[in-house]
Amino acid sequence: MSGSSKEIEEGLTLAPKFDRDGLVTVVATDSASGDLLMVAHMNAEALARTVETGEAWYYSRSRKALWKKGESSGHVQRVVEMRVDCDQDAVWIKVEQEGPGACHTGRRSCFYRAIPLGQKDNVKLEFRDAGKTFDPGQVYDKK
């Protein structure tokens, strides 16, 4: 559909490989710190809007809806750079994260727990950079 593997990998035409739900995976990192903020998904419409506007739009699988990051929280993501991977099924956006955080739990990043290595069963997580930077109840209910 989107051309040969060679074209997809080495060409300069954007030909996203959407999965059977019409989505690509998106990785958002903080353009200043380089930290991973969140992993989410875009459908064709979210991808097109992000490219056109330079602000991050996603597709929520749980809510089955297009959403603009920050539409309820005000925590907009301005895209500084956008990249696509070799087989065009994943997108990387480096963003300026407006406001105190990207995670709906009230933290800067969604990745606030470490999985310690070397464990075999009943793996226990450890909090890492897990302090809350905002109150999600206040941010998401204030409308």
* Euclidean distance between CA atoms 34 and 41, whole angstroms: 20
| CB of residue 45 to a second copy, shortest distance in Å | 13
Nearer to a second copy, 71 or 87 (CB): 87
Q: CA angle at residue 99 from 97 to 103, to 5 degrees?
A: 70
CB of 47 to a second copy, least distance (A): 9
Contact footprint for a second copy (CB under 8 A)? 9-14, 25, 27, 29, 34-36, 38-39, 48, 51-52, 54, 79, 81-87, 90-92, 103-105, 107, 110-120, 122-128
Classify 138 as helix, strand or coil: helix
Q: How far is the CB of 28 from a second copy (least distance, A)?
A: 10
Centroid of chain to Cα 42 = 9
CB of 120 to a second copy, least distance (A): 6
Element spanning 30, H or E: strand 24-30
CA atoms of 26 and 5, how far apart (whole Å):
21
Cβ proximity to a second copy: between 117 and 143 the closer is: 117
